[in-house]
Chain A
């Protein structure tokens, strides 16, 4: 059962704290990457030169392609005598030499204690963990990604759990009939409706791409097609699975992960990962890639007795 710290009399809308979710958010490859750095020229100077130096840096930046926007330009530190000094990022190492910067400073009447190379974080932090680690290297700005913040109500989690239990039963029954034991459902949380439930039908239909997710998307497509044909309200065509939640027994393969992306789902929840073939946490992280114009949240690790299938089988 879903563990919640909310009493039975709580309203349907009560939300479950993230720590009590029975699954974990799957971070993208960008959110799990280790610190990577880029060398920049740093100038060290007394606060009285601050406005001259910042003017100079502004001028330098206007001539160059902007990068490292996530790094704060200035940091304040105390020198060994306890007096305040400022350090500023001038530019990436490849843009100028220390001699060129030194000469410019001389011309502008800026006295710099030191111009040195320093490795700053090359990318903006995307998680609290990255922020805390990278910020200690050099101050960086961090804004929590609004799309990464999700809410589950008590009712929704219980509903998803019951859908998942039905899927496990369906996958088990299908497995007994010689199919691969996995299943998928497409659920609309706003109307609390299950729009499609499907098992894998590769053997039955003699078709290698009849995976459970592709079948489920196909069922939703049929519903949408009949809605389009019978509409009288002048409503628009819509993206197939926009704002919907997909529940699965196992991690989808690359084909299915991308099919879900094309369908514009909002979130995916599954129990068991397929380390050799999965397209989400195992390979590629198709659900959340910076270059995509759509992304979806993905959660895994719900500890349920899903049918055991070989790790090298795509679902």
Chain B
């Protein structure tokens, strides 16, 4: 658990991202979701995982970044809220997007405990802080938070109960 307290506003947006992860699961996708919020508190992008459709790079975060940057490039003041800590690929995409703040729910460590048996998610013990911390521009990484809520969309998913 992160030591700093998360504001009510941040918590509300993080819950929104968790809701998107539940929607992804309901649609037959993997249970991951994220939203991008601008400096004026507008949710400018929402995206769920689309890996089962055939493109394994279509994680929630890469989709969100890919979609938003088609219409908007100045993302420095935006925050990306994601239901689960991003993998190395998604951390790279966040770096590329120019987004300077990322808040996540479920940690990579706890996700691995769920997914390891299924063999579907390659666990990689390089956490997002390591990758984003080495970025040429500062990116604030906040999390994990409300893991007890963030884990709900994953319950029963990785052990075949889809």
Bound together: yes
Chain B residues in 8 Å Cβ range of A292: 122-124
Q: Decide: A254 and B54 in contact? CB cutoff 8 A.
A: no
Size of the chain A interface, CB-CB below 8 angstroms? 38
Q: Which residue of A lies closest to B87 (CB)?
A: A258
Interface centre among A214, A256, A264 (most CB of B within 10 A): A214
Chain B interface helix/strand/loop/mixed: loop
Which B residues are within 8 Å of any A CB, using their own CB? 53-58, 62, 65-66, 69-70, 73, 87-93, 95-98, 116, 119, 122-126, 131, 134, 136
Chain A interface helix/strand/loop/mixed: loop
Q: Decide: A209 and B88 in contact? CB cutoff 8 A.
A: no
A191 to chain B, nearest CB (A): 19
Q: Quick one: given A206-B70, A225-B53, are A293 and B123 in contact (CB under 8 Å)?
A: yes
Q: Decide: B88 and A257 in contact? CB cutoff 8 A.
A: yes
In the complex the two chains form, what is the Cα distance from A206 to B124 in whole Å? 30
Q: Quick one: given A254-B131, A294-B122, are A217 and B57 in contact (CB under 8 Å)?
A: yes
Chain A residues in 8 Å Cβ range of B93: 209, 255
Chain A residues in 8 Å Cβ range of B54: 221, 224-225, 228, 237, 240
Q: Decide: A286 and B56 in contact? CB cutoff 8 A.
A: no
A46 to chain B, nearest CB (A): 46
Q: Decide: B66 and A209 in contact? CB cutoff 8 A.
A: yes
Q: Decide: A258 and B62 in contact? CB cutoff 8 A.
A: no
Q: Quick one: given A254-B131, A314-B92, are A293 and B119 in contact (CB under 8 Å)?
A: yes
Q: Decide: A263 and B89 in contact? CB cutoff 8 A.
A: no
B3 to chain A, nearest CB (A): 26
Contact of A286 among B58, B88, B96, B119 (CB under 8 A): B88
Interface centre among B87, B93, B123, B125 (most CB of A within 10 A): B93
In the complex the two chains form, what is the Cα distance from A254 to B92 in whole Å? 6
